[in-house]
Amino acid sequence: MSQNPLTADAVRETLADFQDPETGRSVVRLDQVRDIQVTDGRVEVALGLTTFSAPLWEKLGDEAAECLRSKLPEGTDVTVHVVEHQRAAEKIGEVGLAAKYVIAVGSGKGGVGKSTIAAILATGLAQAGCRVGLMDADIYGPSIPHLLGCHERPRMVNQKIEPIVVDGLKVMSIGFLVPAAEAVIWRGPMLHSALTQFLKDTDWGELDYLVIDMPPGTGDVPISLAQLLPPAGTVVVCTPQDVALADAAKAIAMYRKVNLDVLGMIENMSHFVCPDCGARHEIFGHGGAKAKAAELGITFLGEVPINVQLRIQGDQGRVADGFAEPAAQPYLNALCRNLVETIVQRRRENPPMPQLSVL
């Protein structure tokens, strides 16, 4: 392989094909390669990336450095510093939501831990540095307020609903508006109206990701979401046993019919490791979601074991503490990384077209 001479122009030329993870376009053309320092066989570069890809910054910095090492003179000492690059979120959909990506977390049936996984994903992305909102669209059984330990009532400011902020995460749920012991008895049109209000009338600000906790099953909410927003990504949560997988497959088929992109599957309650003896027990079986994902041609995003501390933290409204739980931390971090990697890969393969305003 021919190698370029060691100059600032050579650095730019080498990184010309390195794709920005958010837009899929060249980081050089987008002026995200900055502060190039070339001295005595050493190259130091600042690579600007948006918080959209914050969980992958270290990996992306390493990829850019390896790209430079492979094409610059052999033995060049390369250092790439990832710095934050600002890029506004364009408003999407008929509701005018300023979010760069929408992630709907659903399941084929209840009881598989969907809301817990939605809260974990939103919390993990926020802890990694992304700007994240979490919308509880499970109108009949809103669990997000309990999982995050927030029970405030949202305020109206300038005709907008102010979301509740929990550790930097913006949250909106029907659970903030309806007493905990009161049942919500709504038909489809009322569900659609509530979703529209949560999306349009909530002051989300600018977000990298809006995570939506969907109701289980194949009802009205996914159809409404597909109508209100441009194609969003969906994550399907299931447990390993066949009955859960069969329902998950139905949910995936429904998401595809309403043009919601299926990002992948997560297997919850995949196994249990006894904290006393260390023995591993596959209570509901194991690997079913991974096999089903392969069968359906979608990505397997990872698994989450049954963990006593995760259950306790969820019951106490401290889901975020799961990222400090040694037995659970690797699984939870892997879920967030794998999810963003999947989104970035799709952006790079099919870069979104910039929106043009029509005067």
Structure-derived torsion over alpha carbons of residues 153, 222, 51, 318, reported in degrees to the nearest 10:
50
Q: Are strands 280-281 and 261-273 parallel, antiparallel or unpaired?
A: antiparallel
Backbone angles phi, psi at 25, to 5 degrees: -105, 170
Please give the full DSSP string across 46-98, using - where no structure is assigned: EEEE-GGGGGGHHHHHHHHHHHHHHHSPTT-EEEEEEEE---PPPPBTTTTB-
* Residue of 347, 253, 335 whose CA lies nearest to 300: 335
d(CA 159, CA 289): 44
Does 187 have pLDDT greater than 70? no
Angle at 142 between CA 318 and CA 321, to 5 degrees: 10
**Residue of 184 and 274 predicted with greater confidence:** 274
Q: What is the pLDDT of residues 201-225, one digit of tens each?
A: 899 999 999 999 988 766 677 777 7
By mean pLDDT, which of 64-78, 81-95, 126-140, 343-357 is the weakest?
A: 343-357
The model's pLDDT over 293-350, given as tens digits with 9 standing for 90+, comes to: 999 999 999 999 998 888 899 999 999 898 988 888 999 999 999 999 999 999 999 8
What is the structure's pLDDT at 358? 44
| Cα end-to-end distance, the chain, whole Å | 49
| pLDDT tens per residue across span 88-139 | 998 887 788 999 999 999 888 888 999 999 999 999 999 999 999 999 988 7
Average pLDDT, the chain: 88
Q: Label residue 181 by pLDDT band (50, 70, 90).
A: low
Q: Between 312 and 356, name the one with better pLDDT.
A: 312
Sorted by where each begins, the domain ranges of the chain are 9-84, 99-348
Confidence of residue 33 (pLDDT cuts 50, 70, 90): very high
Q: What pLDDT is stored for residue 257 in this prediction?
A: 86
Lookup result for tokens 């919601």? 260
pLDDT at 66: 96
pLDDT tier for residue 359 given thresholds of 50, 70 and 90: very low
**Amino acid at residue number 296:** L
**Fold of the CATH domain 9-84:** GMP Synthetase; Chain A, domain 3 (3.30.300)
Pick the CATH number of 99-348 from 3.40.50.300, 3.40.50.2300, 3.20.20.140, 3.40.640.10: 3.40.50.300
Kindly calculate the radius of gyration of the chain based on its CA atoms and give it in whole angstroms: 22
